[in-house]
Amino acid sequence: MGIIETHDLRFVYGKGTPFEKVALDDVSISIEQGEFIGVIGHTGSGKSTLVQLLNGLLRPASGEVLLGGNDIWAKPKKIRNVRFEVGLVFQYPEYQLFEETVYKDIAFGPTNKGIKDKEELDRIIRTAAEFAGLKESLLEKSPFDLSGGEKRRAAIAGVIAMQPKVLILDEPTAGLDPKGRDRILDRIRAYREKTGSTVLLVSHSMEDIARVADRVLVMNHGKVEMFDQTKNIFKHGERLAEIGLRVPQVTQVFLELKRLGADVRTDVYTMEFAKGVAMDFLKRTEAAPGIPAEKPAVSPAGTLREEARPDDTDATEGGDAQ
Ligand SMILES: Nc1ncnc2c1ncn2[C@@H]1O[C@H](COP(=O)(O)OP(=O)(O)OP(=O)(O)O)[C@@H](O)[C@H]1O
Ligand SMILES: [Mg+2]
């Protein structure tokens, strides 16, 4: 049994109106305790709808969400408790911040969860703020006076302060500079390692997903397109492209090499791993060259040469796809 599961989940916006829209259909997934799940999909594929169903902000039209084996809507009056256990950082954090000060905002979750002791509460708030990389000097400010990145950190701190069993972040790195993005990702990863909690990260960035996810859920038009280990997902470059996604750039390079006939593996999706695979490939090709040296597939800048792509080869998945 997974910590969180869905069975035949369906959700419809504006039911019975001319704007009726089936946002999710037939979604059945199971996520184990402690897993780090990446969620990807084109715009409008249903990612935000799904995560709002997982924490009980939206109620399914049909189907179930199970938390620890129990239907979260079995007792609708208790749905608030689910929101403490399944913490969601919204795609647009400004919708999440509403108190006079950032401090009070972060205090909201733990207070409502029942933490009364002022000192304990203070410790939780400051730890969460530090964890989210929020400067202490910002705690007494109004959340509305923060920059976009600071608002995001404040929202993350507010959710982490509830110490949820399942932490869900909907596009937490959107709008951040690369350094800010790396920091947030590192902190989320550290949080997961420290607490053993389950994490779902919704992102448009394949590079981010590749760096952190154990498994990846790919959504397409409200349905589950793929749900598999990260290394298996990125072998399906062609299919991902068809549904408006792309594999990480480093994976693209290896898929192209394979397309050109090189004997390389294609389940390469981080730079560190790529280095080892590339070295191994080079060693082997020194003995038996695969790709003609006068026509390299990859330019020194790392971009693929159009003219190096033969038209008549079957692309992408090589023999590795499952
Ligand atoms: N409040 C709403 N009312 C009506 N339709 C909605 C509403 N919110 C979302 N939708 C529609 O439901 C579908 C799924 O939307 P959702 O926001 O879940 O997609 P998403 O995958 O999170 O997209 P994005 O990557 O742009 O954030 C889309 O077709 C969207 O237009
Ligand atoms: Mg969304």
Which protein residue's CA is at the shortest distance from atom 19 of ligand 1? 44
Q: How high is the pLDDT of residue 93?
A: 84
Tokens of 242: 């068809």
Considering every ligand atom, which ligand is closest to the CA of 41?
A: 1
Please report the pLDDT score of residue 254 as a whole number.
87
Q: Domain 4-233's class?
A: alpha beta
Average pLDDT over residues 295-313: 42
pLDDT of residue 96: 87
DSSP string, 87-125: EEE-SSGGGT--SSSHHHHHHHHHHHHT---HHHHHHHH
The bridge status of strand 86-89 relative to strand 166-170 is parallel
**14 pocket-lining for ligand 1 (C-beta < 6 Å):** yes
| Per-domain boundaries in the chain | 4-233, 234-322
Report CA(194)–ligand 1 centroid distance (Å): 33
Q: Which ligand is nearest to the CA of 39?
A: 1
Q: Is 15 touching ligand 1 by the criterion CB < 6 Å?
A: no
What is the pLDDT averaged over residues 300-314? Answer: 40
Dihedrals phi, psi of 181, to nearest 5 degrees: -60, -50
Least confident of 53-57, 122-126, 175-179: 175-179
pLDDT reported for residue 292: 52
Name the closest-CA residue to atom 4, ligand 1: 13
Q: Pick the most confident of 56-60, 249-253, 305-309.
A: 56-60
Q: Is the pLDDT of residue 13 over 70?
A: yes
pLDDT of residue 291: 54
Q: What's the mean pLDDT when you consider all of the chain?
A: 87
- Per-residue model confidence (pLDDT) at position 288: 62
Contact between residue 228 and residue 235 where contact means Cβ atoms under 8 Å apart: no
pLDDT at 317 over 90: no
- pLDDT tens digits, one per residue of 245-299: 988 888 888 888 888 998 888 888 888 889 998 888 888 877 665 555 444 444 4
Name the residue of 9, 10, 11, 21 whose CB sits within 8 Å of the most ligand 1 atoms, as the mutation to test its pocket: 21
The answer on pLDDT for 314 being more than 70 is no
| 35-51 mean pLDDT | 97
Q: Which residue has the tokens 């989940």?
A: 9
For the cut 60, the answer to whether the pLDDT of residue 17 exceeds it is yes
Q: Please, are residues 184 and 156 in contact by the beta-carbon 8 Å criterion?
A: yes
Q: Give residue-wise pLDDT tens across range 128-157.
A: 999 888 999 999 999 999 998 899 999 999
Q: Select the more confidently predicted residue: 118 or 246.
A: 118
Q: Cα separation of 165 and 142, whole Å?
A: 28
Q: Give yes or no for a contact between 199 and 33, defined as CB atoms under 8 angstroms apart.
A: no
Average pLDDT over residues 118-125: 96
Lowest mean pLDDT among 17-31, 49-63, 74-88, 308-322: 308-322
**Residue 91 Cα, ligand 2 centroid: separation in angstroms?**
6
Model confidence at 305, pLDDT cuts 50, 70, 90, reads very low
Q: Atom 30, ligand 1: which residue's CA is nearest?
A: 44
